Amino acid sequence: MSLLSHVDEKGSAVMVDVTEKDVTYRMARAGGLIHMNGSALKAVSEGSAAKGDVLAAARIAGIMAAKKTSDLIPLCHPLQLTKVSIDLEVCPDRGYIRCECEVRLMGKTGAEMEALTGVSVALLTIYDMCKALDKAMVISDISLKEKDGGRSGHFIPDPVPEHKDHIEIIKEEKQIKTEKGDLNENKEEPDKKGIQIGW
């Protein structure tokens, strides 16, 4: 018997049968970050990005995506979501925007995928709207933060340390390029004495 619920005894991918499961309260909350430079963060905060209100667009995109999860992830069940919220926080001191998506419903299966999809699409929308201001943005730390309901009950994963902020990443990349440049400059030119070229 397979340990994976989406794989049958023949090794084929299947949709899990939840027909006999009870309808219970379900909740899932996921989060993630998008790192960007100061100019991009300022434009988002002030609402001055060329494509318009970045946070409003990302919020709507995340809600729409959560509702469409079963159309994107092949073996997800279509769920009758009763609440989807997208919370966005601009953190200029850390060089990123934090996003959280919370999903609720009364149903037969959990909503983790819906919460994760909502966060992912919200962050991708921010990326799309800000790419003219920062071509080196980094999306990171997308993960489940909390779930409740169903047979497994309430669950909060162990916290995972956040990635380095965007400024630290850029500084490290520049340092690596500088070091490589120094190494190339210090290479000795080959001794060309005595070399004859025949034509």
- Going through the chain in order, the beta strands assigned E by DSSP cover 24-35, 83-91, 96-107, 138-148
In which residue are the tokens 């990005």 written? Answer: 49
Asked whether the CA dihedral 35, 41, 43, 46 is positive or negative, the reply is positive
- Contact partners, residue 155, CB within 8 Å, separation at least 6: 146, 147, 148
Asked whether the CA dihedral 163, 165, 171, 174 is positive or negative, the reply is positive
Spot the catalytic one: 17, 22, 87, 128: 128
Whole-angstrom distance, CA of residue 152 vs CA of residue 113: 16
Are 78 and 69 in contact by the 8 Å Cβ rule? The answer is: no
93 is an active site residue:
no
Question: 170 burial class (0-12, 13-18, 19+ CB within 10 angstroms)?
Answer: middle
CA 99-171-185 angle, 5° bins: 150
Residue numbers annotated as active site: 128
